[in-house]
Amino acid sequence: MWVNATQKWLLLFSRPNDPCDANSICGSFGTCNKKILPICRCLHGFEPSSPMDWNLSEWYGGCVRKTSLQCGHKDGFLKMPDMYMPTQNLNAGSAKECESACIRNCSCSAYSYSGGCSIWSGGLRNLKQLSVGDSNGTIIYIRLATSDLSTFKGKNKKILTMVIVVASMCRLALLGIILLLIWSKQLVGPSSAVQDSFSTL
């Protein structure tokens, strides 16, 4: 807005270049990725707290767990690479100690160890999915109930099986094309030889 008294522009509103930089745009346990639409998605093992709001691209309400945690060694961790979240340093000598510190704390939602230990409690906010190999990215381990971890592993196995099946079919198709080309050349060879013999007469 232009202010006549000062002869200067007054900034009333500013929008970040990266929509994922907006504070808590995806709410708790939501991850933001500017390269896909919609930019907000719930982490595995979570679902929108209000599906109606999410359908309207109102993500601030965030996500909630599908399965409650058991608080203890019955819970597990889902490995999520290339993630970004503001760090919270905690004294831990190794990744295993960092994981144990999270397990012992029933309010711990996730941890990360990259030279130092970071532990997050309560709802995870401002979580961003970065591009593969981004120097700002790190591996974050999301705490989940064992049943949700099993579901994730089951999905991965199905995807791997589908990839193997499709790859095998492609190889068979390629082999069939090669054999067909060889067979067609063998048929063309004798006929062309006969034509050449007639042409010399």
3-state secondary structure the chain: CEECCCCEECCCCCCCCCHHHCCCCCCCCEEECCCCCCCEEECCCEEECCHHHHHCCCCCCCEEECCCCCCCCCEEEEEEEEEECCCCEECCCCHHHHHHHHHHCCCEEEEEECCCEEEEECCCCCEEECCCCCCCCEEEEEEEEHHHHHHHHHHHHHHHHHHHHHHHHHHHHHHHHHHHHHHHHHHHHHHHHHHHHHHHC
Q: How far apart are CA 201 and CA 190, in angstroms?
A: 17
- Rounded alpha-carbon distances, angstroms, from residue 84 to 9, 32, 52, 56: 35, 10, 27, 26
pLDDT of the residue at 160: 35
Residue 22: pLDDT band (50, 70, 90) is: confident
The span from the CA of 86 to the CA of 178, in Å, is: 55
Two tokens at 10? 């007054």
> Is the pLDDT confidence value at 142 over 80?
yes
pLDDT at 145: 87
| pLDDT exceeds 90 at position 190 | no
Lowest mean pLDDT among 10-24, 104-118, 166-180: 166-180
More confident residue, 7 or 28: 28
What is the sign of the dihedral through the CA atoms of 52, 124, 30 and 79? negative
What local confidence, expressed as pLDDT, does residue 194 receive? 45
pTM, to two decimals: 0.64
The pLDDT tens digits of the residues spanning 91-123 come to 677 889 889 888 888 888 999 988 788 889 888
Position 19 scores a pLDDT of 86
